[in-house]
Amino acid sequence: MRVLAFESSCDETSVAVLADGVLRGHVTRTQTLHQAFGGVVPELASRSHLEQILRLTRQALTDAKDSLEQMEGVCATAGPGLVGALLIGLNFGKGIALSLGLPFVAAHHLEGHVWSAELNGEKIPTPFLALLVSGGHTQLVLVEAFGHYRLLGSTRDDAVGEAYDKVGKLLGLSFPAGAAIDQIAAEGNPSYHRFPQLMMGEDLDFSYSGLKTAVLRQVQKLEPSEVQAHRADLLAAFQESAIALLTARLRTGIERFHPRALVIAGGVAANSILRKMARDIGRTSSLPTFFPDSSLCLDNAAMIGYIGEKRLAAGQRSPLDAPVKPRWSLEELREPENSISQKVISQTEYNDCTATSQS
């Protein structure tokens, strides 16, 4: 099956072409115009998606050496995300599906992240624990089967990626700050200052507002010259505390739910320290640990096309009046009123679909 996929939930405009699970063409453009504001401006994001999506669609098809007439299905992110941004990709995808008479899937953005590591060509055994970490989401999810998810914990305030961006801005870094913090912190001493490691009990939720405030207060105590001299140390200390909470939740989840694998996905999954510590946890627990390729950690249409292809292969379709869902829990995918399908794909069906796509 050959599918055309769109992702426009926030500030990445992305288009992908997949054929039987293989990525043929993929173009993603991260909007840089938000750097001046220190965060994503929804209205500007929507306008930029509108300006870029047709050009990127043509480029993805050209890279894939395919045409619209060769497509057998269309997938687009319906949520969660920014309303205006979602509308651009979702309606553009619907228009193509309608004009060509193709089946359509209104995809769940986080479901794409959950399975994005399989684009590396490896199949993830279920049930597995998925840690979803990005600028908008910090969640621990038990994945019982494809389409069947149980939310174990989520952030009560800031997502971990948002905390990275706010701390980065405080210390003079441009938005988004995650990659820069990872690089600069590698040169610092995390023992320079010990920030609190919050919520280290048995709860599976997350919180980053307290850590962000602690960094702010410490910076306010220092002279500007001290902040500049110890920026790497401050960032190393912040990162150590931020990741300690993520890894603590992974360990607790393993103890309680006995998964067969670990998955770390989302923008923060590209962080070098998180990858190392998650691999160490997996090795200690005798669990395989999966990450998407670094190029697929940020929002992208490849992951949307991948899950859309699996749903289409299982006979699932979305109506062309499927709405955007700015707030949409993964657990709702098993509810009758969800916009994808009432049917939950069984593990046997998923295995069959995967075997078909890889043959």
- The residue ranges of DSSP E strands in 229-350, in sequence order, are 261-265, 289-290
Q: Assess contact for 166 and 158: CB atoms under 8 A.
A: yes
In a domain, 94, yes or no: yes
pLDDT tier, 270 (very low <50, low <70, confident <90, very high otherwise):
very high
Q: Identity (one letter) of the amino acid at 251? A: R
Looking at the fold, whether 262 and 142 belong to one and the same domain comes out as yes
Helices (H), 289-346: 301-313
In a domain, 67, yes or no: yes
Determine the pLDDT at residue 201: 67
Instruction: Classify strands 104-108 and 73-79 as parallel, antiparallel or unpaired.
Output: parallel
Q: Of 266, 287, 308, which closes a domain?
A: 287
For the chain, percent of residues with pLDDT exceeding 90: 87
Determine the pLDDT at residue 196: 83
Within 13 Å and on the Cβ side, how many CA atoms surround 58? 3
Q: What is the pTM of this model?
A: 0.90
In a domain, 228, yes or no: yes
Determine the pLDDT at residue 341: 44
Pick the range with the lowest mean pLDDT from 1-15, 90-104, 137-151, 192-206. 192-206
In a domain, 51, yes or no: yes
Q: Is the pLDDT of residue 350 over 80?
A: no
pLDDT tier, 104 (very low <50, low <70, confident <90, very high otherwise):
very high
In a domain, 293, yes or no: no
Average pLDDT over residues 146-165: 95
Pick the range with the lowest mean pLDDT from 199-203, 219-223, 231-235, 277-281. 199-203
Backbone dihedral angles phi then psi of residue 176, each to the nearest 5 degrees: -75, 155
Looking at the fold, whether 329 and 282 belong to one and the same domain comes out as no
In a domain, 292, yes or no: no
Q: Identity (one letter) of the amino acid at 119? A: L
Looking at the fold, whether 44 and 163 belong to one and the same domain comes out as no
Looking at the fold, whether 169 and 130 belong to one and the same domain comes out as yes
Average pLDDT over residues 119-147: 96
Q: How many folded domains does the chain comprise? A: 2
Strands across the sheet containing 148-154: 148-154, 138-145, 128-133, 261-265, 289-290
Give me the CATH number covering residue 100: 3.30.420.40
Looking at the fold, whether 247 and 308 belong to one and the same domain comes out as no
Q: Which helix (H) or strand (E) holds 3?
A: strand 2-7
Q: In this predicted model, what pLDDT tens digit does every residue of 282-326 receive, in sequence order?
A: 999 999 999 999 999 999 999 999 999 999 999 999 999 999 999
Determine the pLDDT at residue 39: 84
In a domain, 166, yes or no: yes
Determine the pLDDT at residue 202: 74
Mean pLDDT of the chain: 91
- CB atoms under 10 Å from CB of 183, counted, come to 12
Q: Is the pLDDT of residue 185 over 70?
A: yes
Domain that holds residue 282: 125-287
Strands across the sheet containing 73-79: 22-30, 12-19, 2-7, 73-79, 104-108
Q: Of 249, 264, 287, which closes a domain?
A: 287
- Max Cα separation, the chain? 64
DSSP string, 146-201: TTEEEEEEEBSS--HHHHHHHHHHHTTPPSS-HHHHHHHHTTS-GGGS-------S
pLDDT tier, 187 (very low <50, low <70, confident <90, very high otherwise):
very high
Residue 63 contacts by C-beta under 8 Å, 6 or more apart in sequence? 17, 24, 25, 26, 27
For the chain, percent of residues with pLDDT exceeding 70: 92
Q: Of 259, 287, 315, which closes a domain?
A: 287
In this structure, what token pair is assigned to residue 66?
A: 């395919």
Determine the pLDDT at residue 36: 80
Looking at the fold, whether 30 and 147 belong to one and the same domain comes out as no
In a domain, 214, yes or no: yes
- CB atoms under 10 Å from CB of 336, counted, come to 7
Q: In this predicted model, what pLDDT tens digit does every residue of 54-101 receive, in sequence order?
A: 999 999 999 999 999 999 999 999 999 999 999 999 999 999 999 999
Looking at the fold, whether 251 and 346 belong to one and the same domain comes out as no
Distance CA 123, CA 110 (A): 18
Looking at the fold, whether 226 and 187 belong to one and the same domain comes out as yes
Looking at the fold, whether 175 and 268 belong to one and the same domain comes out as yes
Looking at the fold, whether 98 and 12 belong to one and the same domain comes out as yes
Q: In this predicted model, what pLDDT tens digit does every residue of 189-215 receive, in sequence order?
A: 999 999 987 766 678 999 999 999 999
Determine the pLDDT at residue 181: 97
Looking at the fold, whether 162 and 257 belong to one and the same domain comes out as yes
Q: Is the pLDDT of residue 358 over 50?
A: no
Looking at the fold, whether 141 and 267 belong to one and the same domain comes out as yes
End-to-end Cα, the chain, rounded Å:
12
